[in-house]
Amino acid sequence: MTTTTRQPSHSLTPLVVPLLAGGLVMIALGVYGRVHTPTGFAVGPAGFSAALPMKAWLTTGAFVLAFVQVVSALSMWGRLGISIPPAVHRWSGRLAFLLTIPVAFHCLYALGLQYDVPRVLAHSLLGCFFYGVLTAKLLALPKRGLPGWSLPVLGGLTFTLLVGLWLTSSFWFFTTIGLKI
């Protein structure tokens, strides 16, 4: 009787469904943002003076939590020499995602996908890509047999897209309008 040791698969097959779903999310958000007639208002800015400060501060919170995500991921992958509990990574990601929901809702429902100002076009496209890549990452997490590079690449892309969103929104707001609450 011979026993064979099964080697972990490094096939791209487990990534097909997450990447397709992420692509569909990107397209759906972009199409909705373009065909939906913007209302001009959406989420009540509870505790904030207006919608723009709400969006700037919630995005900044997600931006800060994204750095926690990077540091905790590096720790989990043994790249820092310190141990951060995996729960820190999970909960910082959950909180970052939750902070982006009212912002994305307001952007899509109240403003739609805009293309007349380059910064706003970049911001609109970054938002669609952010949620698409995040979808792919979250759907890929429970998959077995993924190539070792897939989760770090998807996580890195998610982080990079959130940084781009922050630069084209909150950073712009704070440097143009000020630190209003």
CB 128 within 8 A of CB 11: no
- Tens-place pLDDT, residues 101-152: 999 999 898 888 888 899 999 999 999 999 999 999 999 988 888 888 899 9
Count of CB atoms situated within 10 Å of the CB of 105: 12
Q: Closest by alpha carbon to 41, among 30, 55, 31, 29? A: 55
Rounded CA-CA distance 10/147 in Å is 4
89: pLDDT strictly greater than 70: yes
- Tens-place pLDDT, residues 27-73: 999 999 999 888 887 666 778 888 888 999 999 999 999 999 999 99
Lowest mean pLDDT among 18-27, 67-76, 93-102, 112-121: 112-121
CB 29 within 8 A of CB 153: no
Residue 77: partners with Cβ closer than 8 Å, 6 or more residues away: 152
